[in-house]
Copies of this chain bind each other. A is one copy, B any other.
């Protein structure tokens, strides 16, 4: 465990160039759900640059429920994303679904995203672990916090300390939101583990009208950044349009959240008190815990 603990203590902050995830400043990762065209991607990259959003997201491979839905542009789509992002100096996060695409991704993206549906795809977790590349690990929509942290352990134990976890809502009976955003997950991970935590507001809520108050809540309870879907024309998006912000709406959201961010960043620069007792996760606990270790659902 000593090996692993060492990695974990380093993973407090994940660095991509001069961007820090899990540091003093909160980050934003924005972009379209799916890469659709050069024009869409280029317009979005321009907008993000203008609004000082440092990381661009965009799906080349879309894990769609139905084989008859738009599946993404694949590797060609990823190249579209890379060209625009590089041109505007943005870092890139994109979802990898198949371990056989790893080399292609490693040459192109800054953060490998492991999606909600693949949180327990252990061959994939091991491969991204071996790669040493920063990984954004999304919580499964049916996974417990403990399962999320154990999935992170699959990556960490391969020697990759650069893991960022992402709360994105869990499946419940409530129909007014696409999923139920579980902000206790953020606070629990922060208590148990030094990993940075991101909140994906778009998938959590599935609607844009309550995004500002929940963005405030996510930051107030300690998350390190937000992932938000943006589209030049949400009503024409090939997937998830109803939860995507237009450029104007993103601008308004960032403006609306700024005063709180300044307040929180000021508060963080002061010495911490109440929460300072939280320790690192004791992975050994999980190993000893036969009941949960046994759980395959």
For the complex, give the distance between the alpha carbons of A170 and B181 in Å. 12
A266-295 vs B, CB cutoff 8 Å, 1 = contact: the mask equals 010000011100100001001100001111
Q: How far is the CA of A278 from the CA of B203 in the complex (A)?
A: 22
Interface pair A191/B203, CB less than 8 Å apart: no
Taking CB as reference atom, which chain B residue is nearest A210? B187
Point out the residues of chain B lying under 8 angstroms from A24, CB to CB. Answer: none
Would B186 and A183 count as touching, CB distance under 8 A? Answer: no
Minimum C-beta distance from A293 to chain B (A): 4
User: Does residue A157 face the partner (Cβ distance < 8 Å to B)?
Assistant: yes
A52 CB-CB contact with B under 8 Å: no
A260: min CB distance to chain B, Å: 7
The answer, among B99, B175, B294, for a CB contact under 8 Å with A240, is: B294
**CB-based nearest B residue for A174:** B144
Q: Identify which of B62, B176, B190, B296 contacts A144 (C-beta below 8 A).
A: B176
- Assuming the contacts A209-B191, A274-B212, asked whether A173 and B176 have C-beta atoms less than 8 A apart, the reply is no
Q: How many chain copies does the complex carry?
A: 4
Residues of B within 8 A of A221 (CB): 213-214, 216-217, 220
For A89-102 the 0/1 string (1 means CB < 8 A from B) is: 00000000111100
A73 in the interface (beta carbon within 8 A): no
A234 close to chain B: CB less than 8 A: no
Cross-chain contact A180 with B179 (CB below 8 angstroms): no
User: Nearest chain B CB to A174's CB is how many angstroms away?
Assistant: 5
* Chain B residue at smallest Cβ distance from A143: B142
Interface residues of A in 60-82 (CB under 8 A from B): 62-69, 71
B-facing residues in A223-249 (Cβ within 8 Å): 239-240, 242
Would you give the shortest CB distance from A178 to chain B, in whole angstroms? 8
Residues of B within 8 A of A53 (CB): none
A residues in contact (CB < 8 Å) with B: 62-69, 71, 97-100, 116-118, 120-123, 140-142, 144-147, 150-151, 153-154, 157, 170-188, 190-191, 203-205, 209-210, 212-214, 216-222, 239-240, 242, 252-253, 256, 259-260, 263, 267, 273-275, 278, 283, 286-287, 292-297
Q: Give me 28 A-to-B residue pairs in the complex whose CB atoms sit less than 8 angstroms apart, sorted by A's number.
A: A63-B296, A64-B122, A65-B293, A66-B153, A66-B286, A66-B287, A67-B150, A68-B283, A99-B100, A117-B121, A117-B297, A144-B174, A144-B175, A170-B172, A171-B173, A179-B297, A181-B184, A184-B214, A187-B213, A203-B297, A209-B278, A213-B221, A239-B296, A242-B294, A253-B274, A259-B263, A260-B263, A260-B267
